[in-house]
Structure 1
Amino acid sequence: MTIHFVGIDPETDEDGCPTVWVDPDTEDLLVQSYRADEETTAACDALSPARAPIPPGETVIRIPARMIPILRKACDELDPGVR
């Protein structure tokens, strides 16, 4: 498995910080971030197009806005038109 590190929260304190990687084999983004609180998760459940609760094994994560450039970089790394 070949996973590429893309970036870490620029305001990191080096302890459990939001991080982004890409898997070029599957073209998946891998994201470590903060688990959303119960109120946010309930709001997401209520707005789900399938009107189904978030299934076991999945969760809602909150990615700080300051990480948008890192997510763009990760998407560009996987976009064949940008490579």
Structure 2
Amino acid sequence: MALRFVGIDPETGQQGSPTIWVNQEKHELVLQGWKADEELNAQCEATVIPGHAPGIPPHEAVIRIPARMVPMLREACDVAERAGL
């Protein structure tokens, strides 16, 4: 797997930091974030999305990424796009 590190939350310490990578072979963003709490999970599960079944499938998870990491997400999107060309 060609996993490229893009960035880590600069405001967290040495443990448990939200992190962003790009899998350049699969053209996917790979995110490590804080687990959503029960309230946020419930809000997400209750969201009506046309054409989709309600709820969060067992193989998926809701995570949180701080807004201060938006520049890193943009960079990761650019890396993923370039890898796909």
What TM-score, normalized to structure 2? 0.87
Q: Deviations over 1:31-52 (max 9, x none)?
A: 0000111111111111141242
- SS of residue paired to 1:31: strand
Partner of 1:32 in structure 2?
32
- SS of residue paired to 1:6: strand
Residue 57, structure 1, aligned to residue 59, structure 2: yes
Shift of 1:78: 1.6
Deviation larger for 42-51 or 11-20:
42-51
Partner of 2:68 in structure 1?
66
Question: Distance in 2 between the 1:44 and 1:55 partners?
Answer: 12
Shift of 1:28: 0.2
Question: Distance in 2 between the 1:44 and 1:64 partners?
Answer: 17
How many residues are matched? 81
Question: Could you list the runs of 5+ residues in structure 1 that have no partner in the other structure?
Answer: none
Question: Distance in 2 between the 1:18 and 1:4 partners?
Answer: 15
What TM-score, normalized to structure 1? 0.89
Among all aligned residue pairs of Structure 1 and Structure 2, give the percentage whose two residues are the same amino acid.
51
Question: Could you list the runs of 5+ residues in structure 2 that have no partner in the other structure?
Answer: none
Question: Distance in 1 between the 2:61 and 2:55 partners?
Answer: 10
Shift of 1:58: 1.1
Deviation larger for 50-59 or 19-28:
50-59
Aligned structure 1 segments of 4 or more residues deviating by more than 6 angstroms: none
